[in-house]
Amino acid sequence: MFDLTGQVALVTGSSRGIGYAVASALGSRGATVLLNGRNPDTVEVAASRLREQGIKARAVVFDIEDVDGMLRAVDESVRESGGIDILFANAAIQHRESLATYPLPEFERIMFANLTAQWALGRHLAVQMMARGNGRIIFTGSITAIRGRRDITAYTAAKSAIHGLVRQWTAELAPHGVTVNAIAPGYIRTELTQALSNNREFCDWLTSHTPRGEWGTPEDIASAAVFLAAQESRFVTGQVITVDGGLSSTMM
């Protein structure tokens, strides 16, 4: 089960953390993985690490804030690979500031990168997937679109819209054999959450409110991504799967 041999997967924001773990997991199931990031050296190092493990991996460099450049890079990859079967749209940016002082330009920038650019990339590949009659689109959502958190007003708005996009796109793409889902991670221990994981007060709060009693790992997200990317999940679409150790499901 979950054999991805012959499939090509584009994983954005995959030079480290959740994206890298997902690329590794998809590749270990036989997919050719296209790793993405803004820094050519960093992405190539990540791709080389996967190739050393016997995974077919290539670097695709683009910045999600440059939509035109992103789509050109994707089209070039499509020409080289013959098509992209799986999209794991993971790249994102963040700005933390209280609502009262949150600058409008920052709100627009975060919304553009985390919503508009995701829409543009997903739509671009969805058209090609519809023409082939098969495809998998997986967005990275967020637990903050389910449970509010202070100081991230733009990020929460964008991720909430992504959750809605999953449902709306399903209505249009499911008849063409393309599934659309999102994974909403809870608190996952990565380089980007290092400051929080080093905060004893926050860690105590998190473990006491999470039934599992611990932080998640990037591999926890990768397991869900493999399921959603595989043919075995062909009847699963329009869903936001929360991977958070039970944090959003209880009143602990």
Give the residue numbers annotated as catalytic, written as ranges.
155
Q: Hunting for tokens 């997200």 — which residue is that?
A: 221
Question: How many CB atoms are closer than 10 A to CB 21?
Answer: 23
Q: What angle do CA 68, 157, 234 make, to 5 degrees?
A: 70
Within 8 A by CB and 6+ apart from 197, the residues are 189, 203, 215
Cβ atoms 140, 182 nearer than 8 A: yes
- Which are the contacts of 49, defined by CB distance < 8 A and separation ≥ 6? none
d(CA 231, CA 7): 11
Contact of 191 with 16, CB cutoff 8 Å? yes
Work out whether the CA dihedral 116, 92, 250, 216 comes out positive or negative.
positive
Find the helix or strand (DSSP H, E) in which 228 lies: helix 218-229
Among candidate residues 3, 25, 1, 141, the one with its CA nearest the CA of residue 11: 25
